[in-house]
Structure 1
Amino acid sequence: MDSVFTVAEIRRAEEATGDLLASGELMQRAASALASVVLDELGDRPRGRRVLLAVGSGNNGGDALWAGVRLLRRGVRVDAWRTADAVHEEGWAAFVAAGGREVDAMSALEALVDADLVVDGVLGIGGRGGLRGAAAVFAQACADTQTPVIAVDLPSGLEGDSCVALPSFAADVTVTFGGRKACQVLQPAASRCGRVVVVDIGLDLGEPELWTWSAADVAAHYPWPGPDSDKYARGVVGVDTGSATYPGAAVLATMGAVYGGAGMVRYLGAARDAVVAALPNVVTAAGRVQAWLVGSGWGSRPDASAIVAWCLGEGLPTVVDADALFALGDATLGGHVLLTPHAGELARLLSVERSAVEADPAGHARRAASETGAVVLLKGASQYVAEPSGRVTLAVGGPAWTAQAGSGDTLAGLCAAMLAAGRPAGEAALLGASLQAIAARNFPGPRPPQDLVRHVADVIPMLRSPGLDR
């Protein structure tokens, strides 16, 4: 499990270092690590290679300049474009003294033809509103010429605490200091960060506000069956999904529970013939249930509120998806209930605009969990699991191929299987979302959800294999 820190947390930790910050030692540590990454990217023979620094007025520019000094000492040809009137004076003096050369904006654009890579040190974690002017033109030129970019701390233009992909550099590698920032893990901003290298420069960051799961966490928390396991030990999922209008949702949600590893699935909804035709192992008779899944594909169901109230009244772990989200009424929820909205559904639940949820998904998921008392899985390119305690954790990320109709139905079924196996709602949500993402990584392409969910059964045993794409 990895931690993600806010800009305020990073700044407090930097200030707490006292003399290390004031003396410039933190900058030297950052510059040394940055230069090392640049040299790795340049390969075994860096002498004579060409690096172009885009240098702003802040500490990121200073990091880039001091890294440039180290590169010059290794025989790398380094030019620097000062993107602002001011510059880190000590770093600039050292850069020039070491043989670095200044170029202007037009020369910097022309230099991209021969540059082996660009170091982006224009803006730091205090940047706001995206790139503008000549810096924005240069960033686009780097992309157009496919010149590799190494970003200092974060790609200039992104905001450290935001998931929004503002006008920015698109980095191949981001060398970040102290800990990951939100923009480096939250989509779509994370797509502009490339490979993220976290460098320990001696900050004491404490407890973060956001966590991220990895495949190792999935392997550690998955409910592996043992020699004494039977179908009840593995969990029985009760499913009431689908309708005459949306029978596919019933099939897909049930498939999620089956391929997620449930010991038994009881389908008790309105599309029994379609479900049994696709999954003859599914039981359609009432009986023992250890977790419920309701709502996917219900449409306008007159008895929706009564069904939701009855399921919640059972006191069993329950996944409330899609149409059932708006049939909660005054029902008392708890940490054993998992709500699985997408951004539009969460906006409707909270009576806000969808754009507000998309601008601050973690904050709105946290608010929903606090107000309802339930665990909330906010679905999307990044999948947020918010608990009533305020903790928010990101599931393992997957490719954009999963953004298609039906993926949410299979995801709800996966989560229900984890609940039935005894996993707490927060873990169940992270397991379900992560398994779907890992399957999409390892079996990429435009696979429909009914095919992708079958591959979940393939990747589950692979979780303990070193060959898995994590």
Structure 2
Amino acid sequence: MRTGYGVETVRAAERELMAALPDGALMRRAAAGLAAACAGLLGRVYGARVVLLVGSGDNGGDALYAGARLARRGAGVTAVLLSPERTHEGGLAALRAASGRTVVAPGAVVEGTAEPLGALIARADLVVDGIVGIGGTGGLRPAAVELADAVREAGVPLVAVDLPSGVDAGTGEVTGAAVDAAATVTFGAYKPGLLVDPAREHAGAVRLIDIGLGPHLPPVPDVEALQHADVAALLPRPTAETDKYRRGVVGVVAGSARYPGAAVLAVAGALRSGAGAVRYVGPGGDAVIARFPETLVSEGPPQHAGRVQSWAIGPGLGDEPASRRAVEEVLAHDVPVLVDADGLRLMDVGTVRARTAPTLLTPHAGEASALLGVAREEVEAGRLAAVRDLAAHTGATVLLKGSTTLIAAPPGGSAAQASPVRVNATGTSRLATAGSGDVLTGLAGGLLATGLTARDAASVAAYVHGLAGRLAPDPPSATDVADALPRAWQDVLRAG
């Protein structure tokens, strides 16, 4: 499992560790890891041309010390100093002792030559971004923007030190210009901004360097990202004594005369969730039976469908009065309930907050913005804050769909307060196709029926759904994604 910690938590851990180490030892550890990562990207260090973009903080010091190591191995290293009067003195001395060169800010020429800075960047084999550290806020300053543009225009690969300059390490927000990295070398712990969009889009491939922070970090991170082994441990597995009812029965309320496909797709996801049976309620029964004859179909209402261990409601319901009544009925059941799509518009938030059984909401950014009463752009720009706010507002577990799918449990009670936001690592733009979310609804609802908590059901569903999107044929439809779920499930189990 990948775990991410906020800026102040990381800084506190660094202070504790530095107090137990010789002066400068922690920076040298970081620089050694950074230099090794750069060498790996270069392939051949001797004769390579490396440009360091150096700001005034410790990130600039990391870059300078790493540059000195590369220079001693025969690379031609030039440091561009954006704040020469505040450049890390020890790092700068180390680079110069290793025969590295310097230039002050954009527009100047390289020390000891007549070469313009733009030409130097264009000839580089690698650029290292040490402009701003994890405490930086807001976008890049104009001089840094000029450098970032020059790198982008030249097409030179860039390695970010700890995180790309211009992104918010703690929230994943990007409020102005930011560096686009091919790779990011981060130290000690992942930061939320390296896992959460839109900042994640700027980070490229992320490599974590162990500098010894582990014992000084708290046991509960701010965010976490499950991996194959974590998901495999959560997947429901029947035993010799298990029958279809012990595996769990999920009720699906989806579709309408106008959108019968939503019913079919939600049932497709539910049937591949590990639940023992699927009860479908709604007007799409004929379409569902034609595609999945194993489904238990009822025209409704939900309270007459038979016993279930969870409900999944919402996709394709439309605005009919019967749909609103169905949402009210389902939320009145004392079993876990997943609400998606039209169900999110039709539900009463007060009713959700008053429920004692778990509730899982699965909005996209537009639906989340309507529930929170804010602009969609605000949700998309600050996804981490939005998912936390929505969980607190509704008292439900929230799966916020999007380029980074996030899962947050509601606050209240020591266990919930200790739950970090989960970040799904398998998401792909291939899932941006009509009906894909309906498949996710059925899958997560079925996992609720198997006995998983709302948080775990949402996390496992998002993970397996994302893998299915990657495994489906290109270009995938929602039906292709549903059909790929068994392959994704087996892929997880093999790795776990």
- Tell me which amino acid in the other structure corresponds to 2:46: R
Is the contact between residue 473 and residue 480 of structure 2 (CA under 8 Å) also seen in structure 1? no
Q: TM-score, normalised by structure 2?
A: 0.89
1:349 equivalenced with 2:378 (yes/no): no
- Report the AA paired with residue 192 of structure 1: H
Q: Which residue of 1 aligns with 2:179?
A: 169
Task: Find the partner of 2:362 among 340, 344, 353.
Answer: 340
Per the TM alignment, residue 394 of structure 1 is displaced from its structure 2 partner at its CA by 1.6
Report the equivalent of 1:218: 231
- Report how many residues are paired: 466
Q: Aligned with 2:321: secondary structure?
A: coil
**Matches for 1:256-405 after TM superposition, within 5 Å:** 256-285=269-298, 286-329=305-348, 330-331=350-351, 332-334=354-356, 336-388=358-410, 389-390=416-417, 391=419, 392-405=421-434
Q: Deviations over 1:92-134 (max 9, x none)?
A: 1221122001235353321233321111111111222222323
TM-score under structure 1 length normalisation: 0.94
**4+ runs deviating over 4 angstroms:** none
The aligned amino acid for 1:100 is G
Decide whether the 8 Å contact of 1:320 with 1:338 is kept in 2.
Answer: yes
Q: Deviations over 1:329-379 (max 9, x none)?
A: 232224521111112212221222222222322223223223332211111
Structure 2 counterpart of 1:120, one-letter code: D
Report the alpha carbon displacement of residue 78 of structure 1 after superposing the two structures with TM.
0.9
> Which residue, 133, 155, 159 being the options, matches 2:168?
159
Aligned equivalent of 2:57: 58
Distance across 2 between alignment mates of 1:141 and 1:123: 17
Alignment of 1:197-236 (within 5 A): 197-203=207-213, 204-206=216-218, 207-236=220-249
Structure 2 SS opposite 1:346? helix
The alignment partner of 1:17 has SS state of helix
Report the CA distance shift for 1:169/1:22 in structure 2 as closer, same or farther (over 3 A). farther
Q: Is the 8 A contact 2:430 2:470 kept in 1?
A: no
Query: Deviation of residue 21 (structure 1)?
Result: 7.8
| Aligned-partner Cα distance in 1 for 2:494–2:236 | 17
SS in 1 for 2:163: coil
Taking the aligned partners of 1:18 and 1:30, their CA distance within structure 2 comes to 12
1:122 to 131, 141, 150: 131
Q: Hey, what does 1:41 align to over in structure 2?
A: 41
Does the aligned pair in 1 maintain the 2:171–2:384 contact within 8 Å? no
Farther off after superposition, 421-430 or 351-360: 351-360
What RMSD, in angstroms, separates the aligned Cα atoms of the two structures?
2.0
Letter in 1 for 2:203: C
1:418 and 1:386 mapped to 2: Cα distance?
17
SS at match of 1:436: helix
CA distance in 2, matches of 1:65, 1:238: 60
Is the CA contact 1:237–1:264 (under 8 Å) kept in the aligned structure 2?
yes
SS state at 1:256 partner: helix
Query: Are 1:396 and 1:438, in contact at CA under 8 Å, matched by a contact in 2?
Result: no
- 1:456 equivalent to 2:485? Answer yes
Shift of 1:433: 0.8
Residues 59-84 of structure 1: CA distance to partner in whole angstroms, max 9, x if unpaired?
A: 11111111111111111211111122
The answer for unaligned runs of 5 or more in structure 1 is none
Match of 2:468 in 1: 439
Where in structure 2 are there 5+ consecutive unaligned residues? 108-115, 299-304, 411-415
> Relative to structure 1, is the Cα distance of residues 432 and 245 closer, same or farther in structure 2, using a 3 angstrom cutoff?
same
C-alpha distance in 1 between matches for 2:441 and 2:462: 9
